[in-house]
């Protein structure tokens, strides 16, 4: 007679999670493709310990948001809407106007649409830091993480590897 053995599956616990920091250079990158990559990092779907009910994601810093690239005629044709809450308070702006005024908002809004629509998604979005220029104030956090990674174009990653 054989004894039945039971094995419990591994359960990810919130106390075990240690988020990494990723720096992404948006210069010349396509908006949608970049934002899907950011959403995966924020949700933690790139990790083997991913579970949908915990924030297993990492912190993401995006630099050079003003140099984002879009295809086709999206600069003139893509329209962002918002409403003030008053009658006739519907405001609309084209992508070109939003990029000229606040380029960080374009990336934040695109990533927000790719995250879960609940409190966990809002917490994931708070880990996204977007900057219009090439500088960011998070050098200490990025350098402190042993597994911090720089995600960018392949030429930039090769250049960083040569400098190290």
pLDDT given for residue 82 in this prediction: 95
Query: How far apart (Å, rounded) are the C-alpha atoms in residues 69 and 72?
Result: 10
pLDDT given for residue 10 in this prediction: 85
Of the pLDDT bands very low, low, confident and very high (cuts 50, 70, 90), residue 7 is confident
pLDDT given for residue 164 in this prediction: 53
Correct CATH for 19-69+102-163 of 3.30.390.10, 1.10.10.60, 3.40.50.300, 3.90.1180.10: 3.90.1180.10
pLDDT given for residue 9 in this prediction: 85
Mean pLDDT for the chain overall? 89
**pTM: predicted TM-score of the whole model, two decimal places:** 0.82
Q: Model confidence over 107-162: pLDDT tens digits? A: 999 999 999 999 999 999 999 999 999 999 999 988 886 454 556 554 554 555 55
| CA 91 distance to own-chain centroid | 26
Residue of 120, 110, 95 whose CA lies nearest to 44:
120
pLDDT given for residue 146 in this prediction: 46
pLDDT given for residue 66 in this prediction: 95
Residue of 139, 126, 131, 118 whose CA lies nearest to 59:
126
Q: Model confidence over 56-81: pLDDT tens digits? A: 999 999 999 999 999 999 999 999 99
């Amino acid at each position: 007679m054989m004894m039945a053995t039971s094995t419990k599956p591994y359960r990810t616990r919130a106390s075990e999670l240690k988020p990494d920091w990723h720096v992404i250079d948006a210069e010349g990158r396509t908006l949608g493709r970049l934002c899907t990559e950011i959403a995966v990092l924020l949700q933690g779907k790139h990790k083997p310990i991913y579970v949908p009910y915990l924030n297993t994601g990492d912190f993401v810093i995006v630099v050079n948001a003003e140099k984002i690239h879009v295809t086709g005629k999206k600069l003139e044709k893509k329209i962002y809407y918002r409403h003030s809450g008053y009658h006739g308070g519907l405001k609309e702006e084209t992508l070109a106007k939003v990029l000229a005024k606040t380029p960080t908002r374009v990336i934040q809004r695109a990533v927000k649409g790719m995250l879960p629509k609940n409190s966990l998604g809002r917490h994931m979005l708070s880990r996204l830091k977007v900057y219009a220029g090439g500088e960011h104030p998070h050098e200490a956090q990025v350098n402190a993480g042993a597994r911090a990674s720089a995600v960018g174009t392949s030429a930039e990653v090769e250049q960083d590897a040569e400098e190290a």
